[in-house]
Amino acid sequence: MKIRHQRPTALTHFLFGCPYYPEHWTPVDREDDAQRMADAGVNVVRMAEFAWDYIEPSRNTFRFDIFDETIEALGRRGISTMLCTPTATPPRWMTIERPEFLRIDSKDRRMEHGSRQHCCTNSPGFRDESDRITQVMAKQYADNPHVIGWQLDNELHCHFTDCYCPACHAGFRAWLKKRYRDINSLNESWGTQFWAQTYASFDQIPLPYLPERPTHPNPGQLLDYWRFQSDGVIEFIGRQAAVLRATNKEWWITHNGLFGHIDLWKFAEKLDFMGVDIYPGFHPSQPAQAAVWAASLEMCRSSSGNFIVPELQSGAGGQRTYLHETPRPGQQRLWAWQCAAHGADGVLHFRWRTCRFGAEMYWNGILDHDNIPRRRYKEFSQEGAEFKKVGERLLGTVEYVKAAVLVDQEQDEAHGTMHLGLPGPYDQRNQAYRQLWLGQMPAGFVDIRDSFDGLQMLIVPSFIMIDEEFAEKLAAFVQKGGTVAAFARTATRDRRNHVLSVTPPGMLDRLFGITVEEFGKFNKPLLDICIGSKKRIPAPAYETLKPRTASVAARYSRAADGGNHAACNKPAITINYAGKGKAIYIGTYLNNENAGALIDFITSQAGIEPLAQADEGVEATCRYEEKRRLTFVLNHHAIPKKIQGLPSGHDLLSGKECTGTLILEGFGVSVIES
């Protein structure tokens, strides 16, 4: 099996540029744009994702003049164009003609024109219209040498996922009929005997509403509904991709979003590579918070391998109710290199010039409203020069990952159907990755459908659903010498979302060498996990573990209130040796208070070594190919930091030699080739 998370793109040069909206600007505004971009090192721009009303002002009346002129002007200066299918913003004449295209929310409110993503991607008529505009645009630019690739739609499911329009209702019933074939199979899968939900035909099936109507929906029905929404959006973009590939096989195809209820692994199969938009301003500006957007980059990489960033924050993003902090000098460049460090083969800063109208008129770009280049343009130009200098050294390399936190969209969905107020796989994997990131470990996300070859350690973040294939894959990994660590409630349901009748962890009991005898949560801290005589780790929930072949690595403490508790002194962490490897089971969840200690314990058991030694908030990653390594060091602090334990080599950015230790300036970057 090929390793997807370590798949390079087939790009021939590192992409650097910005989204550009010529339809927003007058000829005077646009006059110097192409040359200014070229001077800054831009080699690609993204265009047209919201321009359907300009391209087709009335049905079957098309105009491409402004895009033809702009693409040509940019092309003369060596700047290529990534076009977008404009299907996130269908025009007003269409929504007047076909109001049934509009989405409907859980309160039965039909979406209105005046924003974006207002039409339902499950609507057969809207899909036909989307294919039609894609075909028209593809034909227009089929032979244009300056158009090199496409972005499909824009940030799908960013604002709206659970649609309740008639098209979704009919589509859901058709999807269920295809999946189950007969209604009895569906009734069995959903457990419809509970609350008298048995259906006599697929035509009787309603949509599962959230918020509840009048109380909680069937968990099996809700899981299938989210599966349907994912499959629907994948089919939507797959049709557009097919049109473009049939027109020009040389075009590459991507998308720019990692939003809810989309199976990114399956989604990426329709693309040449994924894309992700990165806006650090949505998170607090403390150095350690850089782990949050590092995790977003890792999610993208786990779905398709190397990727691009079609939008990266360049100024203070702001809309009606908020305004981000303005990036400090050096941060814009730092963020771009962070993207490259995690596998990006292209970075586009959003946007070229700040718009003077509309819902994003304070979403600041590289240039301000007055069109005068200032420090952000200067920093952007520095990035352009650096990527031009070393970009080809990045292509063909992939991220070096030894510690993998596993990803499975269906686990997130299943947890969401019955979360009980407990942390789920999403929370667990982000906690685990954050701790690995803080420790400068060679870590990343890996989908459970990917190959585990080359990995040394796997973290299973409370995956509640289990099947034989996954169980066998984990066991084989351990037999070959890998370390697997799993957390509470692992392997407690099947793929139908039914709770298993066997004692947890069911199919994994032999792998971990334990059974789980009791489970519970705490409303306030009551027990600690004791490793040795001094190490006490808070436990927000507990499972009492009964070893069969496993050895006990830690036990629960006495109850904090001095009374008795079922878990007191019972095993909390166990280690089972199998073949050449080991399987660690931890009977609680990760949270802010315990994640550091628990992840440190797991990495020590797996023998994972950090890429560098530095303060938290200094990031170290590595990209490599067969005979060379690129170690990226990024200082997310505003003040200089000392980094040790680095490989000796040549810093591609400064031109200096590194002998294993360096002092990196505030918001500084080093790329050491060895």
Q: Which residues are part of the catalytic machinery? A: 155, 311
Strand pairing partners for 629? Answer: 624
**What is the C-alpha to C-alpha distance for residues 153 and 49, in angstroms, rounded to an integer?**
7
- C-alpha pair distances (Å), 83 with each of 246, 310, 339, 374: 16, 11, 22, 28
Residue 515 corresponds to which tokens in the numbers above?
């059974």
Q: How many CB atoms lie within 10 A of CB 476?
A: 13
Residue 501 corresponds to which tokens in the numbers above?
């009748």
Rounded to 10 degrees, what is the CA torsion of 566, 570, 575, 576? -80
Instruction: List CB contacts of 281: < 8 A, sequence separation 6 or more.
Output: 313, 316, 317, 324, 325, 327
Strands 147-151 and 483-486: unpaired
Rounded to 10 degrees, what is the CA torsion of 572, 575, 576, 582? 140
Residue with tokens 């079609």, as numbered in its chain: 310
Radius of gyration of the chain (CA): 26
CA angle 285, 289, 290 (to 5 degrees): 95
**What is the C-alpha to C-alpha distance for residues 49 and 88, in angstroms, rounded to an integer?**
7
DSSP 289: G
Strands 344-350 and 443-447: unpaired
Instruction: List CB contacts of 242: < 8 A, sequence separation 6 or more.
Output: none
Concatenate the DSSP letters of all residues of 367-403 into one string: B-TT----HHHHHHHHHHHHHHHHHHHHTT-EE--SE
- C-alpha pair distances (Å), 285 with each of 288, 312, 347, 590: 8, 16, 21, 23
Classify 396 in phi/psi space as left (phi over 0), alpha (psi -120 to 50) or beta: left
Concatenate the DSSP letters of all residues of 317-357 into one string: -EETTEEPPPPPTTHHHHHHHHHHHTTEEEEEEE-SB--SS
